[in-house]
Amino acid sequence: MKVMTWIIGVFVSMAVSAQTTVTISEPSEKVTISKHIYGHFAEHLGRCIYDGIYVGENSAIPNTDGVRNDIISALKQLDIPNLRWPGGCFADTYHWKDGVGPKKDRPTMVNRWWGGVTEDNSFGTHDFLNLCEQLGAEPYLAANVGSSTVQEFTEYIQYVTHPGKSPMSDWRRENGRDKPWEVSFWGVGNEMWGCGGNMTPEHYADVYRQYATFMTDWSNTDGFFRVASGANVDDYHWTEVMMRDIPKSLIEGVALHSYSFVEWNEKGSAADFDEAQYFSTMQTALKMEELVTKHSAIMDKYDPQNKVALVVDEWGGWYEVEEGTNPGFLYQQNTMRDAMIAGATLNIFNNHAKRVKMANLAQTVNVLQAVILTEGEKMILTPTYHVLKMYKVHQDAILLPVKFESPTYKFNGETLPAVSISASKKESGAVHISLVNIDAQKEHIINLSMEEFGAKKLTGTILTSNNLQDHNTFEAPEKVKIKAFSKMKIKKGQVEISLPPFSVVVLQTE
């Protein structure tokens, strides 16, 4: 294979000698950026499901089987590959049988983790799996282990996936669905070190083995992708135990959860923050690089053939709730800071695509780093939504290795890498390069050699705004939006690209 090398020079504007060479080359090993890295997460939490995605069949808001049409259409435009449901912490309190059958007969339940509200179970398994079909997204069912039984769990699998005659599939038919749904992704509990049961990893590994054994047969002919509840942030011991104690024939993925915040006990406002708070948030966001590197190294030790995936099934920014809203509902605004978290994190996942094969942004609508916010019949798309839309070009493309030393973003005597980059190549040959400049103050200039890789034309889009705190509101829904990127000067096969402060740019070769 012809080795193709692109040289990109990165200069820090106003700095004299801060040039960095960037190389983007043909890979020596073909690694696909799984589309499932671009997954989402919808929990029964606050207004994510009820009064968010689901408004009920009788709502005046246009809907299909109770799910808002505007949300379906917005999510479809992201090509969302998978959707995780029903939790989160909620998952280990959820008894699926309460959410099937005639809605009027369903029992209520108290959502004890999130606001203590009583739910009527009107959004259940059929509603969720039909929604996934409408979206063209694969369902990722996080099933109850913490307060369930192996029997309840295996009956769930039979209800959802069994094509033939059986007690559960017959019940599914009675409830209006003949064909089974296609569900490969199964989470075996959630955060078992905490809300899932406060277990030690050693104990959970045994519990996992028991559940996974009864999910399918000896050879997993059902083709299930079973995900073990994973580590909290840098709990490397957890990953070590999962990889050491669970036979490889019983596991396809190990999860990891890590959120970005100012300080866990002093999260600060989502939209009203200063540069110090921004810097701290980006420190926790960029820690994802170290986390996936170290968790992957442990996985490499036990699984050199790279069969088990690292599944980052909860990530995103977490701040204080908006004033006047239920503290248990985790409703927060979404600014350019969140766009920085999204762009930088997705670059990390892309660059670690060999091990990170799935990830889920928390959460889809009205909760934490949401892509969509709603108020009555109104709906807005957040800066994070726009980043996901720009980055969808990387889904299932071949990863192109990027090597460079980033210029630094300095604040108060501390530093962070300012620029992050990932690149991929589509089957069509089109190359996409996503660049993020998290620097709150400085523009950075990138020099890209076009001659080397024979691109005739380079086009791009950008997401930026005047202030880091800028966000979309129901009154001004398009304050932050994707624009065509024009800050490129082409001279003799070289492109000089200016990355404004706090901006996300995606370039495409033609």
Q: Would you tell me which residues interact with ligand AHR (CB under 6 A)?
A: 43, 87-89, 190-191, 314, 362-363, 368
Q: Shortest distance, CB of residue 330 to ligand AHR, whole angstroms?
A: 6
DSSP assignment, residue 32?
Answer: B
Question: Is cis: bond before 88, omega within 30 of 0?
Answer: yes
Secondary structure of residue 230 in the 3-state scheme: strand
Q: Tokens 């309840």 identify what position?
A: 152
Q: Which is nearer to ligand AHR, 52 or 407 (CB)?
A: 52
State how far the alpha carbon of 111 is from the alpha carbons of 161, 315, 374, in Å: 27, 22, 21
Distance CA 74, CA 64 (A): 14
Long-range CB contacts for residues 428-431, cutoff 8 Å, separation at least 24:
430/393, 430/508, 430/509, 430/510, 431/400, 431/455, 431/508, 431/509
Nearest residue to ligand AHR by CB is: 88
- Residues with Cβ within 8 Å of residue 459, at least 6 apart in sequence: 484, 485, 507, 508, 510
Q: Shortest distance, CB of residue 362 to ligand AHR, whole angstroms?
A: 4
Catalytic residue among 263, 314, 405, 414: 314
Q: Is 17 exposed, middle or buried (0-12, 13-18, 19+ CB in 10 A)?
A: exposed
Catalytic residue among 119, 138, 155, 191: 191
Distance CA 208, CA 250 (A): 9
Q: Which is nearer to ligand AHR, 325 or 508 (CB)?
A: 325
Q: Shortest distance, CB of residue 416 to ligand AHR, whole angstroms?
A: 25
Q: Shortest distance, CB of residue 199 to ligand AHR, whole angstroms?
A: 14
Q: Shortest distance, CB of residue 34 to ligand AHR, whole angstroms?
A: 22
Q: Which is nearer to ligand AHR, 155 or 191 (CB)?
A: 191
- Residues with Cβ within 8 Å of residue 311, at least 6 apart in sequence: 227, 230, 253, 254, 255, 256, 356, 357, 358, 359, 360
Q: Which is nearer to ligand AHR, 296 or 369 (CB)?
A: 369
Residue 191 a catalytic site member: yes
- CA torsion, ordered 351, 352, 353, 354, to nearest 10 deg: 130
By DSSP bridging, strand 483-484 and strand 408-411 are unpaired
Q: Shortest distance, CB of residue 295 to ligand AHR, whole angstroms?
A: 17
Q: Which of 169, 74, 83 shows the shortest CA–CA distance to 127?
A: 83
Q: Quote the Cα angle for 370-362-199, to 5°.
A: 155
Q: Shortest distance, CB of residue 97 to ligand AHR, whole angstroms?
A: 22
Length of the chain: 510
Q: Is 213 exposed, middle or buried (0-12, 13-18, 19+ CB in 10 A)?
A: middle
Q: Both tokens of residue 452?
A: 């080397």
Secondary structure of residue 241 in the 3-state scheme: helix
Q: Which is nearer to ligand AHR, 34 or 190 (CB)?
A: 190
By DSSP bridging, strand 488-491 and strand 483-484 are unpaired
Q: Shortest distance, CB of residue 294 to ligand AHR, whole angstroms?
A: 20
Is residue 434 within 8 Å of 504, Cβ to Cβ? yes
| Residues catalogued as catalytic | 191, 314
